[in-house]
Amino acid sequence: MSETSSGQATDAIRHADILIVGGGLSGTMLAAQLLRLPGKRSMLVIEPRAELGRGEAYSAVELGHTLNGNAARMSVDPDNADDLTQWLTDHITAGGWPESDQQHVPVSQLFPPRGLFGVYVQQRLAEAQVAGTLQGSTVEHVRAEVVDLQTRDDSVLLTLSDGQRLQGAYAVLATGLFPAARTPQTESSGLNAAALDPWDVAAMRQLDPQSTVLIIGSGLTMVDAVVSLEQAGHRGPIEVFSRHGLLPQRRRQPPAWADFLDADHSLRTPRQLVRELRRHCRDAIAQGVDWQAPLDTVRAHVGRLWSQATDAQRRQFVRHVRPWWESHHHRSPPLSAELIELLHGEGRLRIQAASFKGLEPASNGAVRIRIRRRGEVETVVVSGAALINSSGIEYDWRRVARPLPQQLLARGLIKPGPLALGIAAQADGAVLAADGQAAQRLFAMGPPLRGIWWESTAVTEVCSQAKALAARLVS
């Protein structure tokens, strides 16, 4: 994989057929799909990280930070659900990941470290690159950040952080996730400046091992933060605050269950879906089957259900169902769940239903935050030696203080997606401008389409979108 990074401003404009903004899973898989399609084309992937294929999600280096889905669920090949299982089998046989035997399950049920998954993605890109070379297709990694984008009648022009300008027939926004813990906010509370990175084990090793650590948010990022603290040698109290006080459920391997949504398309509203899902879960439990079995059948229909719902129905889901959906559907990998259960049982980890209301002045290196516990009117101040922001992902591009989202909004080239989740686009990924017109040369895929498909962040959904968009671009 070639890489360029001039570090100097230039008036020259580089040209390529397709410009891919972002080199995490989304951008890398789109490039891989394009490389495998017939025809000769050039691609530039603009990504500030040193490597493609990792992004925020798969740059983790600690073995304890694993995928939250097992290998059988995480293939990057939309045509082969066993692709990751097969790759892991070969990798382990060759002596890679010797710690895999600690999970005591077949390869298909392993939960690989996220860093290892990044290696798998990179290898699949390298293989696609070989296939592309045979027909003259190329992909190049341009290591920089896109800070501006302009559309023309016949092309798209990008301006990069190092002064380079790139021009292509098409551009794709494959920007991936904006983790709240690592994303500057337009209306910052100062939380990130005061907080530790949830994945920075080295920084956590500087803490007093017996000190109290405060965590905002109780989702999967919190689970990662607790794993980080454990690996850093922290042994003190951990206080977790989230609005609903819900923990992610442990992911298990339930048996197959009849796809009730495929058999009955009359179920359309969140209320109808929840009512019927609860009935199937009760039936499963009565039969001695894990309740996760019927829940897992819903995933394949989420995009259809969300896209056909009205805005009022979507708001109803987000307001009343989302917290339980997130905690029951986006589950914790087994080893991480065991750690959470252990610390909770020992009393070291406490979960409180409370809203974060801001930082308070503190001294002597301490951190003080103001919270309001659920059901109470008055706020209280709690203190600890450190604070971690585990509030999840920022999907509202209006609140992301990065150059490209702000420029795209200012130019009217994008508009917020439904309920301000990501950006608006057509079903084929063509971006909708502020005036509602579909772009002819600007597309999006993956997490930016959260508002259109709801589940647009998982590996299988992202890779399916990459395949469909690649076919659309070359057609």
The pLDDT tens digits of the residues spanning 364-383 come to 889 999 999 999 999 999 99
pLDDT for 9 = 47
Q: Checking phi first, is residue 438 left (phi over 0); if not, alpha (psi -120 to 50) or beta? A: beta
Residue 155 lies in a domain: yes
Digit-coded pLDDT (tens) for 395-429: 999 999 999 999 999 999 999 999 999 999 999 99
Residue 79 lies in a domain: no
CB 93 within 8 A of CB 102: no
pLDDT for 170 = 98
d(Cα 257, Cα 265) in Å, to the nearest integer? 17
Question: Does residue 4 surpass a pLDDT of 70?
Answer: no
Residue 97 lies in a domain: no
Residue 47 lies in a domain: yes
CB 349 within 8 A of CB 340: yes
CA–CA distance from 131 to each of 20, 23, 35 (Å)? 19, 19, 7
d(Cα 174, Cα 152) in Å, to the nearest integer? 20
Question: Does residue 133 surpass a pLDDT of 70?
Answer: yes
Let me know whether 161 and 13 are in one domain: yes
Most confident stretch, 11-20, 165-174, 253-262: 165-174
Instruction: Indicate the helix (H) or strand (E) that contains 263.
Output: helix 260-263
* Strand partners of residue 240: 215, 351
Residue 209 lies in a domain: yes
Question: Does residue 7 surpass a pLDDT of 50?
Answer: no
Work out how many domains the chain is built from and give that number: 3
CATH number, domain of 31, equals 3.50.50.60
pLDDT class of 8 with cuts at 50, 70, 90:
very low
| Strand, helix or coil for residue 349 | strand
CB 4 within 8 A of CB 143: yes
Closest CA to 280 of 304, 264, 269: 264
Digit-coded pLDDT (tens) for 42-57: 999 999 999 999 998 8
Last residue of a domain, one of 371, 389, 407: 389
Let me know whether 56 and 174 are in one domain: yes
pLDDT class of 11 with cuts at 50, 70, 90:
low
CA angle at 107 for the pair 104 and 109, rounded to the nearest 5°: 75
Let me know whether 419 and 459 are in one domain: yes
Let me know whether 321 and 343 are in one domain: no
Task: Write out the DSSP string of 101-115.
Answer: GGG-S-GGG---BHH
Let me know whether 384 and 305 are in one domain: no
Residues in the chain, overall count: 475
Last residue of a domain, one of 389, 407, 432: 389
Residue 8 lies in a domain: yes
Digit-coded pLDDT (tens) for 137-167: 999 999 999 999 999 999 999 999 999 999 9
Question: Does residue 216 surpass a pLDDT of 70?
Answer: yes
pLDDT for 378 = 96
Question: Does residue 30 surpass a pLDDT of 70?
Answer: yes
Instruction: Indicate the helix (H) or strand (E) that contains 368.
Output: strand 367-373
Name the residue with higher pLDDT: 354 or 63.
354
Last residue of a domain, one of 329, 345, 365: 329
Let me know whether 276 and 414 are in one domain: no
Let me know whether 189 and 243 are in one domain: yes
Q: How many helices (H) and strands (E) does the chain have?
A: 16, 15
Let me know whether 122 and 153 are in one domain: yes
Let me know whether 324 and 363 are in one domain: no
pLDDT for 181 = 83
pLDDT for 364 = 83
pLDDT for 269 = 81
Let me know whether 266 and 404 are in one domain: no
Digit-coded pLDDT (tens) for 81-129: 999 999 999 999 999 999 999 898 999 999 999 999 999 999 999 999 9
Let me know whether 237 and 370 are in one domain: yes
Residue 70 lies in a domain: no
pLDDT class of 6 with cuts at 50, 70, 90:
very low
**How far from chain centre, in Å, is Cα 187?**
22
What's the domain range around 336? 181-249+331-389
Residue 76 lies in a domain: no
Closest CA to 418 of 324, 315, 316, 325: 315
Amino acid residing at 343: L
pLDDT class of 183 with cuts at 50, 70, 90:
confident
Q: Minimum mean pLDDT among 4-18, 195-209, 285-299: which range?
A: 4-18
Paired sense of beta strands 430-432 and 438-444, if any: antiparallel
pLDDT for 187 = 67
pLDDT for 78 = 96
* Strand partners of residue 142: 4, 46
Average pLDDT over residues 251-259: 92
CA angle at 435 for the pair 429 and 440, rounded to the nearest 5°: 40
pLDDT class of 184 with cuts at 50, 70, 90:
confident
Q: Record the tokens describing residue 410, joined without a space.
A: 């200012």
Question: Does residue 307 surpass a pLDDT of 90?
Answer: no
Question: Does residue 190 surpass a pLDDT of 90?
Answer: no
- pLDDT > 70 in the chain, percent: 97
Let me know whether 273 and 381 are in one domain: no
Q: Record the tokens describing residue 406, joined without a space.
A: 């702000």
Task: Write out the DSSP string of 152-170.
Answer: -SS-EEEEETTS-EEEEEE
- pLDDT > 90 in the chain, percent: 81
| Full 3-state SS string of 388-450 | EECCCECCCHHHECCHHHHHHHHHCCCCECHHHCCECECCCCEEECCCCCEEEEEEECCHHHH
Output phi, psi for 77, to 5 deg.
-100, 110
